[in-house]
Structure 1
Amino acid sequence: MSAPVHSARVEIARPLPRATVDRLPRYLRALDGLDAQGVVTTSSATLAVVAGVGSAQLRKDLSFLGSHGRRGVGYDVTHLRGRIAAALGVTSRQRVVIVGIGNLGHALANYAGFGDRGFTVVALVDVDPAVVGTQVAGMTVRHLDDLDDLVGTLGATIAVLAVPTSAAQRVCDLVVRAGVGGVLSFSSRDLVVPDGVDLRTVDVGAELQILAFHGRRRQLPDA
């Protein structure tokens, strides 16, 4: 596991484009890997290859953070990790509650990668009597009725929704009312959240359709 990232305030002169924000976790993951290998400094070309982006794109993204590599030296890995982590708001542990402990929720609860990324799952919630009260990933699954108390007591700031599409909006409303500021939904339904709450959606079906589209294009003869 990489060394801890210490808190640092990052002054951002310009608003970060959404596409840049979406790439920052890739850069942080790449830097974590380099740090684990004992790399102290890295060039933009090397970091770009590890992150899977173009070097020009990487330099442009990092310029929003005021990070410009030193000519002939490159980027200080530890310093850049700190700046990106601070920009993402993951310099301290983020507490997560997972709602819906079916097959997907069960897999998410047991996912070891959360800890490496600065997240701690603090509560699991469901409504199924056969699931509530059982032990999953070392935690007791609680009932949805306990959500308000769990969020307040445990300080959860992010909710992961692994619930049926038909229940997604209702559950989303409940977690927002409980006080979380970020929602990650695995539902294909477009959810509505109030201003001040961040929503991210992972539509696995849509992503597979996009892959199928690109696969079909590769099979077509050149026009």
Structure 2
Amino acid sequence: MTSLESRSHAVDDDAESAVKQIPPAAVARLTIYLRALTTLLSEGTDRVSSESLAEASGVSSSTLRKDLSYVGSYGTRGVGYDVTYLSRHISAALGLTHDWKVAIVGAGNLGKALARYGGFESRGFDVVAILDADQMVVGNEVGWLRVSDATNLEQVLQRTGANMAVLALPAAAAQDVCDRVVAAGVRSILSFAPVTLQVPDDVNLRKVDMATELQILAYHAQRAQTPQKSA
């Protein structure tokens, strides 16, 4: 193994061990930095200062530097960050150097929109299947995928090698499908179902509830519009 390869393996090992220790809020911001770096790469930018990257990400320079310290400090005073190098290290810390294959369960409007979204592949996610229980939908084409029958969920997950699942389902069907996905060996699930799902401790479940987010937004908007009484 060459010294360069040894260094590369060491970086990957360090990134994978470091990601376990990164605070959740910092992990969320790392995804924003990576998006900004991807834009810079597309524009042909080779180096960026911490101030410029922080401004593009909507954070302070001190917050940026602290967050990047979790994956190692790669900036040079007076020179800035190598955009390609930093984006690779953030990607490794976030686990994006692995092969993530995503199955979408639910081919309604939301499921179809997610399946057609072109941004997944550029960020390291390969949508390999979309499934639905409605026989009127099964067999239809969504983007480059053909809707599979959810009755064959386990077989589709195994055949495609899916290791992530997105549940774009109504509340009534979500828990049963979630249980089947978990039983099939998938340990990373993103749910858009408007219900709290129960999963084993070794399963990573994230929930996106757009109605709840809008309610929170409405609360803050109302406070901004209502004059605050002085104490």
1:9 aligned to which of 2, 5, 12: 12
Alignment of 1:194-213 (within 5 A): 194-213=200-219
Say if 2:221 is the partner of 1:215.
yes
Which one of 4, 20, 33 corresponds to residue 39 of structure 2?
33
Q: In the alignment, which residue of structure 1 is the partner of 2:24?
A: 18
Answer yes or no: is the 8 Å Cα contact 1:99–1:125 preserved in 2.
Answer: yes
- SS of corresponding position for 2:97: coil
Q: Distance in 1 between matches of 2:214 and 2:13?
A: 36
The yes-or-no answer on 1:161 pairing with 2:167 is: yes
The match for 2:5 is: none
Matched, 1:145 2:151: yes
Say which SS state the counterpart of residue 95 (structure 1) adopts.
strand
| Superposition pairs of residues 46-125 of structure 1, within 5 angstroms | 46-125=52-131
The residue that corresponds to 1:44 in the other structure is 50
| 1:34 alignment partner, SS class | helix
Higher helix share: 2
CA contact (8 A) 1:10 1:86 kept: no
Number of positions where the alignment pairs a residue of Structure 1 with one of Structure 2: 218
| Structure 2 unaligned blocks of 5 or more | 1-7
Query: 5+ residue gaps in structure 1?
Result: 1-5
Contact 1:99 1:159 (C-alpha < 8 Å) held by counterparts = yes
Deviation, structure 1 residue 10: 4.6
User: Share of identical aligned residues, percent?
Assistant: 51
Larger Rg: 2
Q: CA RMSD in A?
A: 1.7
The answer to whether the 8 Å contact 1:10/1:65 transfers is no
User: What's the CA shift string for 1:1-28, capped at 9, x where partnerless?
Assistant: xxxxx98505145711111112221111
Q: Residue type of the partner of 2:215?
A: Q
4+ residue runs of structure 1 moved beyond 3 angstroms? none
The Cα offsets for residues 105-142 of structure 1, whole Å up to 9 and x where unpaired, read as: 11111111111111111111110011111111122111
Q: Quote the residue 1:3 is aligned against.
A: none
